[in-house]
Amino acid sequence: MMSRVVVTGAAGFIGSHLVDELLGRGVRVVGLDRRRVGEHALADENLARAVVNPLFTPYCLDLAVDQLDDVVAGCDTVFHLAARPGVRPSWSREFLDYTQTNVLGTHRLLEACTRQGVRRLVVASSSSVYGPADRPSREDDPTCPVSPYGVSKLAAEQLCLAYARRADSPLSAVALRYFTVYGPRQRPDMAIGRVLFAAYTGFPLTLFGDGSQRREFTYVGDVVAATLAAARLEAQAAVVNVGGGASVSMLALINEAARVTGRQVPVKLVAAQPGDVPATAADPTRARRLLGYWPKVGLHEGLARQAAWLVNLSDDRLAAFTS
């Protein structure tokens, strides 16, 4: 049983859903994020339920520079979801932030966890570590990331496993390779949010490539279920895929979004971008065996839930989709 846990990236898309689920189970949650509650609109919106719960304690901290020992001390489990996301910006000068946040921040968190005797770390990795694949990716497949973002996520994942494999380490680690997570609170730059926004506003969707590229979309509630299961897994160092159950083309996604919203999705085709792989798909065998994980929310239902959330956003938040 978990009594007190840390969630890094608590104000983010997946992190805030995880926080809500943990609090609903009566777990005391320490939430770490660079975005300060009360001063950042996204943090305020994503953590609106959490901040009124006496079991939740938020901290505004940067993993790469701030002192972490005090906040992880006495915690049984650390869920490490904080990261700089996004494939395309990682090619630019912004890569410095990817290295500081995804790599250095993870290293400093691991050092603090080791010093404070934390038992279990669950780290959010990514399907981006695989690179191009011509079949569903298995956890023991070679990793070949094709973007700086993917490289930074692989480095963070491997750091966690290295610390868990130390002979003198009190820490065990499970790295979860998430496959394209979507749902309410999703970042506006991600595919499903952009597709739905185009459907409701008539602003053309910028589609990179010809639409044949395939992605395995995974609903955020399923991701949270797998993440909680990973905290209970009897393993010292493990890697597990977390997928949505099916890989679909972008054109199929657009058609499904049209069915969900009852609106056409206008599209503007542009060239494929560096770092975009032709397809992602997860082999679910290990997740089923180790975590008892089966995705429960299909694409149609998940799209409907995200669409319902999107149409109720404030004007300020909707502006993020056009920026």
117-164 pLDDT, tens digit each: 999 999 999 999 999 999 999 999 999 999 999 999 999 999 999 999
* DSSP codes of every residue in 3-21: SEEEEETTTSHHHHHHHHH
Protein fold of 4-321:
Rossmann fold (3.40.50)
Taking the C-alpha atoms of residue 121 and residue 79, their distance in angstroms, rounded to an integer, is: 6
High-pLDDT (> 70) share of the chain, %: 97
Confidence of residue 318 (pLDDT cuts 50, 70, 90): low
Over residues 23-47, the pLDDT tens digits come to 999 999 999 999 999 888 889 999 9
Rounded to 10 degrees, what is the CA torsion of 132, 178, 253, 133?
10
What tokens were used for 41?
Answer: 């609109």
- The residue extents of the domains of the chain are 4-321
CA distance 106 to 99: 10
Q: Which two tokens stand for residue 153?
A: 């996520």
Coil, strand or helix at 235: coil
Residue ranges in 143-295 assigned as alpha helix (H): 148-165, 191-201, 220-231, 250-261, 285-286
**Model confidence, pTM:** 0.96
Question: 71: closest CA among 117, 122, 32?
Answer: 32
Q: What is the 3-state secondary structure (H, E, C) of 28-86?
A: EEEEEECCCCCCCHHHHHHCCCHHHCCCEEEEECCCCCCCCHHHHCCCCEEEECCCCCC
Q: Which residues are designated catalytic? A: 149
Percent of the chain scoring above 90 in pLDDT: 89
